[in-house]
C-alpha cells in the first residue's frame, strides 16, 4: 500500500531574479513554493522549490486535475 501524506499548508510567492554571479541581467520571474506535508504519524515535513512561470502554470493545471479526481472518489 502506498501512503500519501496530508497537505497541511501551501505558500507561494512571486519573485524576480535580477542578477547572478554568472549573468548580469536576468530579469527572470519565478514562483517559490513551500509545502508542509504531515505523515500518518503526525510528523510535518516542509519542502520548498522554485519554478518558472510556465512550470507553475503546468503545476497549477495538474493540481486542479488531481483535485477534480479526488472529488469523484
* 56: phi then psi, degrees, rounded to nearest 5: -65, -40
Considering only the C-alpha atoms of the chain, give the largest distance between any 2 of them, rounded to a whole number of Å: 50
pTM over 0.75? The answer is no
CB atoms within 10 A of CB 58: 12
**70: CB partners within 8 A, 6+ apart:** none
Domains defined for the chain, CATH in brackets? 6-72 (3.10.450)
CB atoms within 10 A of CB 45: 11
pLDDT digits (tens, 9 = 90+) for 23-37: 666 778 889 999 999
pLDDT score of 58: 95
Amino acid at each position: 500500500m502506498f501512503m500519501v501524506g496530508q497537505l497541511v499548508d501551501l505558500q507561494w510567492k512571486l519573485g524576480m531574479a535580477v542578477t547572478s554571479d554568472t549573468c548580469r541581467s536576468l530579469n527572470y520571474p519565478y514562483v517559490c513554493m513551500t509545502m508542509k506535508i504531515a505523515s500518518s504519524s503526525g510528523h510535518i515535513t516542509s519542502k520548498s522549490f522554485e519554478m518558472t512561470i510556465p512550470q507553475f502554470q503546468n503545476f497549477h493545471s495538474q493540481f486542479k486535475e488531481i483535485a477534480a479526481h479526488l472529488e469523484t472518489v
